[in-house]
Amino acid sequence: MKINRNFLNLKDSYLFATIGQKVNDYQKANPDAAIIRLGIGDVTLPLCPAVTEAMKEAVAEMGARETFRGYGPYEGYAFLREALCVSYAQKGVKLQSDEIFVSDGAKCDVANILDILSGDNVVLIPDPVYPVYLDTNIMDGRTVVFCDATAANEFLPLPDAGTHADIIYLCSPNNPTGSVYTHAQLAQWVAYAREHEALILFDAAYEAFIQDPSLPRSIYEVPGALECAVEIGSFSKTAGFTGTRCGWCVVPKGLIREDVPLHQLWMRRQSTKFNGVSYIVQRGAAAVFTEEGARQIRGHIDMYMGNAKIIAQTMAVHGFAYFGGDNSPYIWLQCPAGMTSWQYFDRLLEQANIVGTPGSGFGANGEGFFRLTAFGSHANTVEAMERFQTLF
């Protein structure tokens, strides 16, 4: 037996472990310090009542012989796929419901989709970005090239005609930078992908946080994307499903490579390796699209975006260079006075008892930057920003 030696090529991920250790050490040494965590990417508001009510009803159905359900469809129940289809139609995107596959979250999909793509493909990954894209490709031994996201391009890298890639990860709104591609910018990526016969893996996990109606919430708003892009979505941040687990993956039927529809391969992959998301969870997810559910979810997103505004305004008042925060729950700021990401982490922890995430944990170009998130409570966010004002 031999192991997959590609795993040995992974860099140890110390980011969240080191943050946890440093915070614990500091708290031990300073037991009275009221530490505020603005570093986590997890939500803090609970599931909304429309979702929990739907789940309770589903639990009751599962407990009655007449309505009990066993294995569900691999691709998800039609009621949820149809609700997602209607939601796409509201964005002007016409999909068939059987082009949408319900999953247990976006993390799994951005990694699992690689099962149907050759290990020979060259993968293009923005730097900095959600680290799962890189690590999952290293595990498969693929060649990875990076495209630089920097302050100069407002953390929205565009294709370079001189670089060939077969698979392209795009994340908009971006984690960690909070930047969001425009239609025109996404159109450049779609044109590149079509020219190179590449595949875009578009991670739309934060699309619900986009406030500006002129910005695209789906790559399929760009003409031609249905033939070159898979889109991955999630209920995690939109509706507080980080622990409940539900997402989706769109594999359009017109997406064909080497004369084979990727839809056919993905269906085969899912039916072989995945037995679906629980009926109860899918009922909860579908409730997000009811009138009541949509209103309640909007209230949660508005609360988080209110926090983002408070953070962004504080950064602006103090003359910090920052990105994001207006259409995303992430604020990406440049560390002052040439500090490294970790130096700034230590400074904020020790002098303001605020915990953020060092940008260097998201890629080489993240060095010298720092991520704050809007997922804390309103009171903690206000308090953290008051401390920030006092510090600067």
Closest separation in Å from C-beta 113 to ligand PLP: 12
Q: Of 97, 150, 182, 242, which one interacts with ligand PLP (CB under 6 A)?
A: 242
Rg (CA), the chain: 21
List the x/- string, 188-207, binding to ligand PLP by CB under 6 A. ---------------x-x--
Contact flag: residue 130 with ligand PLP (CB under 6 A): yes
The CB density around residue 146, as the number of other CB atoms within 10 Å, is: 18
Contact flag: residue 234 with ligand PLP (CB under 6 A): yes
DSSP, residue by residue, 99-131: GEEEES-HHHHHHHGGGGS-TT-EEEEEESS-T
Q: Of 178, 247, 252, 376, which one interacts with ligand PLP (CB under 6 A)?
A: 247
Phi, psi (rounded to 5 degrees) for 327: -130, 25
Contact flag: residue 217 with ligand PLP (CB under 6 A): no
Contact 113, 257 (CB under 8 A): no
Q: Of 172, 175, 328, 353, which one interacts with ligand PLP (CB under 6 A)?
A: 175
- The set of residues, in sequence order, having a beta carbon less than 8 Å from that of 337 and lying 6+ positions away, is none
User: Which part of the chain contacts ligand PLP (CB under 6 A), choosing from 104-112, 269-277, 321-329, 358-366?
Assistant: 104-112
Contact 356, 19 (CB under 8 A): no
Q: Of 58, 102, 149, 171, which one interacts with ligand PLP (CB under 6 A)?
A: 171
Contact flag: residue 44 with ligand PLP (CB under 6 A): no
**Which tokens in the block code for residue 154?**
């407002």
Q: Of 172, 236, 238, 278, which one interacts with ligand PLP (CB under 6 A)?
A: 236
Question: Among residues 131 and 224, whose Cβ is nearest to ligand PLP?
Answer: 131
Contact flag: residue 137 with ligand PLP (CB under 6 A): no
Using DSSP's 3-state secondary structure scheme, residue 332 falls into strand
Query: Judged by CB under 6 A, how many residues of this single chain contact ligand PLP?
Result: 13
Closest separation in Å from C-beta 162 to ligand PLP: 27
> What are the CA-CA distances from residue 319 to residues 64, 192, 222, 322 (Å)?
61, 37, 35, 9
> What are the CA-CA distances from residue 288 to residues 80, 282, 292 (Å)?
10, 10, 8
Contact flag: residue 106 with ligand PLP (CB under 6 A): yes
Question: Among residues 307 and 353, whose Cβ is nearest to ligand PLP?
Answer: 307
Closest separation in Å from C-beta 19 to ligand PLP: 15
- Taking the C-alpha atoms of residue 391 and residue 347, their distance in angstroms, rounded to an integer, is 10
